[in-house]
Amino acid sequence: MTPLATSLLTICGMAVATYISRAAGLMLMSRVTPGVRMRRFMHAIPGAILASIVAPSALAAGPAEAVATLATALTAWRFGNLPLAMLAGVAVVLGLRQFVG
């Protein structure tokens, strides 16, 4: 196989692997009727994923990021406006990074 064919086939394989991951959750849920514990598990998943995505940068990156996360959360809580909260977070982190590492 030519190098280009190999790399395009690899990309094909990556695409299939990714799509399987995207479709598998729905396929599982369409076959299983969740019981009480399963429902509690699923109910908690969205928040748990969001908290996990945020945790490293919010709590383990440094004081600027921690304060900016707090500012973002407060802005989102007060105004319920996503672009505004995003802007507030970026502005605070940019400002604070001038002073702290």
Partner 1 sequence: MNAQSSPASGRLSFSLGGVLAGFRACVPVSLGVAVYGVLFGLLARQKGLSWLEAQSMSLFVFAGASQLIALDLWGPDLPVVSLIATTFIVNLRHVLMGAALSPQLLRLGAAQAFGSLFFMTDESWALALGRWADDSRRGRASDAAFLLGAGLAVYTFWNASTALGHVLVRGLDDPARYGLDFAFTAVFTALLVGLRPRRADVLPLLAATGAALLVLRFCPGKWYILAGALAGGLTAAVGPPAQAEEQRP
x/- mask, partner 1, residues 62-91, rule CB under 8 A, reads ---x--xx--xx-xxx--x-xx-xx-xxxx
Give the shortest CB-35-to-partner 1 separation in angstroms: 10
Which letter, b or e, does each residue of 3-28 get, where b requires 16 or more Cβ atoms within 10 Å of its Cβ?
A: eeeeeeeeeeeeeeeeeeeeeeeeee
Exactly one of 94, 99, 100, 101 binds partner 1 (CB under 8 A); that residue is: 94
- The answer to whether 72 and 86 are in contact (CB under 8 A) is yes
- The whole-angstrom separation of Cα 82 and Cα 75 is 9
Query: Is 100 one of the binding residues for partner 1 (CB under 8 A)?
Result: no
Give the shortest CB-100-to-partner 1 separation in angstroms: 13
Residue found under tokens 């672009």? 83
Give the shortest CB-99-to-partner 1 separation in angstroms: 14
User: What is the tally of helices (H) and strands (E) in the chain?
Assistant: 4, 0
Positions touching partner 1 (CB under 8 A) are 3-4, 6-15, 17-26, 28-30, 36-60, 65, 68-69, 72-73, 75-77, 80, 82-83, 85-86, 88-91, 93-94, 97
